[in-house]
Structure 1
Amino acid sequence: MVSIDKREWRLLHLHYVCYNNRQMIRQILEQDPALTVYYQWKSAEWQERLQLSSERAHHLLQRLNNQDIKEKIVRFARKYQILTIWSPQFPSYLKQIPDPPLVLYLHGNKSLLQHYPNLSVVGTRYPSRFARQTMQQVLLPLLKKDILLVSGMAAGIDGLAHQLALDNHAKTIAVLGGGFQHIYPQKHTTLFHRLAKQNLIVSEYPPDFSPQKYYFPERNRLISALGFGTLVVEAKEKSGTMITVDQALEQGKEVFAMPGSILTETSNGCNRLIKDGAKLVQDSMDIWIEVPTIPSFS
């Protein structure tokens, strides 16, 4: 259990009460930086200060005063490692991205957050029969150079990336779109436990928060942020993978793409990225030569 001071406890509590609504939490922090006064706000003050409806203000006040929630957060802190944006161990490079996370729940080897270099790997949930082979050809030499793979533990390319790292005793980080108590997809339950035991799983959602559709685009910004670049293996032109690409570009990260057949739908996204300026990847050196000598977050 990581040491957490009183101000961080209050941020953890607020983070849970507000359902990880970072915009709302930042509004509260602007008015109460120490997070002490807002506990005394009445319903009318919540409505006025945050432009909330009376129903929503009443709901948040109920959660704020719910003793079960406070006790639940204590149990989470005993079982998992938790970092807030104020924690000394919170990675500085995550503070620099647009819309940085305020809280991170960690399950596994926390030291991997400081590893370098890392490569984010993303792609379709429905990979072609060639995906595993092409990933092995490109990524295995990088794993031998101690590159860590970051992905989202989703079906398809994500799972293949994590599995490739685990099978070769290499390092990997999974970033989830929900809490640790709701493993998604369920078929990755064994993978989840292997990752937690040998590597690291990260989520900005409390452990009992079940995955929601809008959580996944949110978590994609963390996948791209944890790597010096993002490799797209296979993807459709319109897909969640492209959200990760957009966020990587917004963060000033490299974007790599593996080319594919024009007859394969899951190659269309990669081929389009290459046409638009992403670096074409045919072998591991295409990525290795782009690794910055000095980490961008140093």
Structure 2
Amino acid sequence: MANKQRDLLFKLTVCNGIGNLGILKILDFSMRYNDSTDFSKEEIIQIAGITTYQKLFSQSWDHWTCESEKLKEYQEQHTFITILDPTYPYYLKQIYNCPTLLFYKGNIKLLEKNCLSFIGARAASVYGINIVRQLIPEMIRNNITIVSGLAKGIDSVSHQVTMQNNGNTIGVIGTGLDICYPKETAHIQRMMMEEQLVISEYPNGVGPRKYHFPMRNRIIAGISLGTCVIEARKRSGSLITAQAALEYGRDVFAVPGNVFDAQSDGCHGLIQEGAKCTICPQDILEEIQLFSI
């Protein structure tokens, strides 16, 4: 029955017109009724609460039902865990709208580690890069796995500094694992898929969409004990991740910068709102060492 649930969840994930919340509703219904997986598309539409995209979902479901062999081949091209698997990250499971599936390449055991996310400006300054180089080595010495989003700037520097210091790092992306976005960090992503871990809630072939990245950010925040923001403008996407972390009851750390430089305005705002002003590794460690999986 577990395999049937796994197959159903994959089919729903690749269908158009149904979102992750709808899939979670189907899974909840299935578990409440003896792990049933034999749903008609009409039942799925009703249980998942699909309204606007009923026609789109119906056509997509029919397509994959008729092309069951192609669907099986497509599924076999992926390695993934579901929310029902014991390897699914404990802290991620606690958040609202946690991803039903996590596609991955690399060392899945990294999901069992205590994680801390580092995020910030894509146009990182020398100051921001030096902050990453100051903070991350001490995190590694304390067995903390570094999580970020494989974007340009602070994200990619965080991954690189972690690997240079023989630490563990997880990249969370907003596309399928067969796509590298942005291209500037493709070499880091490929290296991490071999030596570290890269995860996504999107199957192969799914390209970047604007709404994918706020969704990606909730995974970065949800998987981590805390989130450290280094250089963020007032309307930075990094603030979305920090806000998600606050909503999940996780620690938020913000590194101050030059008060005359808009590059750090978002960090200063976070500090004013209660994020921990972070100027050295111990500022982080004294908070997150209170928690453990």
Under a length normalisation based on structure 2, what TM-score does the superposition of the two structures give?
Answer: 0.90
Match of 1:168 in 2: 165
Q: In the aligned structure 2, how far is the partner of 1:74 from the partner of 1:224?
A: 29
Deviation by residue 1:216-260 (Cα, 9 ceiling, x = unmatched): 000111111122110000000112111001100011000101100
Q: RMSD across aligned C-alpha pairs, in angstroms?
A: 2.0
Match of 1:93 in 2: 91
Deviation by residue 1:132-157 (Cα, 9 ceiling, x = unmatched): 11221222222222221110000111
Match of 2:217 in 1: 220
Q: In the aligned structure 1, how far is the partner of 2:148 from the partner of 2:46?
A: 41
1:173/1:202 contact within 8 Å kept: yes
2:17/2:57 contact within 8 Å kept: no
Corresponding residue SS for 2:87 = coil
Corresponding residue SS for 1:289 = helix
1:245/1:255 contact within 8 Å kept: yes
1:56: how far off?
A: 2.1
Alpha-carbon spacing, 1:220–1:56, altered in 2? closer, same or farther (3 Å): same
Identity %: 32
Q: How many corresponding residue pairs?
A: 285
2:4/2:37 contact within 8 Å kept: no
Match of 1:247 in 2: 244
1:275: how far off?
A: 1.4
Alpha-carbon spacing, 1:47–1:146, altered in 2? closer, same or farther (3 Å): closer
Q: In the aligned structure 2, how far is the partner of 1:245 from the partner of 1:212?
A: 21
User: How do 1:266-277 and structure 2 match up within 5 A?
Assistant: 266-277=263-274
1:18: how far off?
A: 4.1
Q: In the aligned structure 1, how far is the partner of 2:183 from the partner of 2:251?
A: 32
Runs of at least 5 residues in structure 2 that lack an aligned partner in the other structure? none
Q: In the aligned structure 2, how far is the partner of 1:197 from the partner of 1:54?
A: 40
Match of 2:72 in 1: 70
1:21 to 13, 19, 22: 19
Deviation by residue 1:49-87 (Cα, 9 ceiling, x = unmatched): 6335663244233333233233211222xxxx3101112
Match of 1:288 in 2: 285
Tell me if 1:189 matches 2:190.
Answer: no
Runs of at least 5 residues in structure 1 that lack an aligned partner in the other structure? none
Tell me if 1:55 matches 2:52.
Answer: no
Match of 1:114 in 2: 112
